[in-house]
Structure 1
Amino acid sequence: MNSGRSGRLVLTARLATARRAVELLDRKQRALAVECERLELVAGRAAEDFERKARTAALWLRRSNALDGERTLLASLPEATVEVAVEYDVTMGIRHPAGVGVTFGPEPYPAGSSALVQAIREHRTALAAALELAAVQRAVVLLSAELALTRQQQRALQLRWIPKLEQQLTVLVQRLDESEREENVRLRWAARRGHES
């Protein structure tokens, strides 16, 4: 690196850039923290919703099994598959799941009691809730990882890079000042010698 005035300009520009980067990372960190907190609350509600729906589905399954037996239950398994479409969103440049669309095949015509029909419906509802929970949990994981990385980058700039640049700039300014003083002394000395001649 040039140790003269151009070197000072380069270091000053780098220092300004690093300080601006810290400001931007701080904004990003605050935005991610708010979104992570919101998504954690959503995930908590989704977990409660899924647990409630799973308990209801298990209750209807026990009733159906008691009334219809395991053979009737197995014979009523749906043949069609479930289609899941994950919707995505972007927060501070991070792509993450924002929701899930679930499309079930046609309801089977079970050869059992109304408890079996209700068990099938409750299990579909529980599956949709489980998929919503998985999507929001994945979003929390992705945004939390980005938040941790952003904090790490900000700390690295604040604790290592900026102090290093400030130290380099201080040393360079001291050298320039010393060089300038030496030049002034030489000029005065040369001027005195010129007057003495």
Structure 2
Amino acid sequence: MADLRTPPGRAGRMRVSRSLDVARRGADLLDQKLRILRTEHERLVRADRAARERWHARLTEAETWLRRGLLLGGEEALTAPAAGHLTALEIGWASTMGVRHPRTAVCTIPELSPDTPPAENSALLLAETAYADAVRAAAESAAAHEAARAVGEELLKTRQRLRALRRQWIPRLESALARADAALEQAEHEDAVRRRWAAGSAGKTR
């Protein structure tokens, strides 16, 4: 790692000192951000896991009712879905330490047209309701997963920036400041020697 080039004199030392103060304050702020992100990411990961489990449970339930309905009425018991009925998805957004991510996902499934033939048996009717619940759960799971991913990505970037500050930039600035202090001390010592020498030379000429 190359050393920083420090301008000579007190002005150079002051510049390095200010840069070091800024770097240290930046590291403190990144450390605070990292703690907040870590806490939020852990919460979002738990929410993601719970949402995924709910989705799988709803889907398993729907598939169970569908199999029962088909056993009772056969494949011909299924009716084709009505055309033109689209599911609407509304995403609510949130921000965590500047990271925009989904907060909620509300899935609206339109009601079937009055002309749609009713389910052949109660099992298929329950399957219809269960699949609607599974679709809603899938949307919530996708939103929870994306939120955990986005915050996790920012958590990783923040950790990398903090590590670079603490392990690279701050040590380089500290070394540069130490060199500047040593150079100033050496310069002051040499100046004092020259003054003593000049004073001694002036005394000998009297």
What TM-score comes out, normalization by structure 2 length?
0.90
**SS of the counterpart of 1:125?**
helix
Q: Which residue, out of 173, 176, 179, partners 2:187?
A: 179
Query: Superposition RMSD on alpha carbons, in Å?
Result: 1.4
Q: Deviations over 1:119-143 (max 9, x none)?
A: 1111000110011011111111111
Task: Name the counterpart of 1:97.
Answer: 102
Report deviation, 1:8.
0.6
Task: Name the counterpart of 2:23.
Answer: 18
Does residue 66 (structure 1) correspond to residue 75 (structure 2)? The answer is no
**SS of the counterpart of 1:2?**
coil
Distance across 1 between alignment mates of 2:145 and 2:105: 12
Question: How many aligned positions are there?
Answer: 196
**SS of the counterpart of 2:90?**
strand
Distance across 2 between alignment mates of 1:78 and 1:154: 55
Distance across 2 between alignment mates of 1:176 and 1:38: 52
Task: Name the counterpart of 1:110.
Answer: 117
Report deviation, 1:115.
2.2
Task: Name the counterpart of 1:157.
Answer: 165
Greater fraction of residues in helix: 1
Distance across 2 between alignment mates of 1:69 and 1:110: 16
Task: Name the counterpart of 2:130.
Answer: 122
Report deviation, 1:161.
0.4
Does residue 27 (structure 1) correspond to residue 37 (structure 2)? The answer is no
Distance across 2 between alignment mates of 1:45 and 1:78: 33
Distance across 2 between alignment mates of 1:150 and 1:78: 49
Distance across 1 between alignment mates of 2:8 and 2:131: 72
Distance across 2 between alignment mates of 1:102 and 1:189: 89
Q: Which residue, out of 176, 184, 193, partners 1:168?
A: 176
Task: Name the counterpart of 2:3.
Answer: none
**SS of the counterpart of 1:99?**
strand
Distance across 1 between alignment mates of 2:86 and 2:131: 14
Does residue 144 (structure 1) correspond to residue 148 (structure 2)? The answer is no
Q: Deviations over 1:130-157 (max 9, x none)?
A: 1101111111111111111111111110
Q: Identity of aligned pairs, percent?
A: 36
Contact 1:76/1:110 (<8 A) preserved: no
Structure 2 gap segments, 5+ residues each: 1-5
Distance across 1 between alignment mates of 2:174 and 2:148: 37
Contact 1:96/1:139 (<8 A) preserved: yes
Structure 1 gap segments, 5+ residues each: none
Q: Which amino acid aligns with 1:172?
A: A
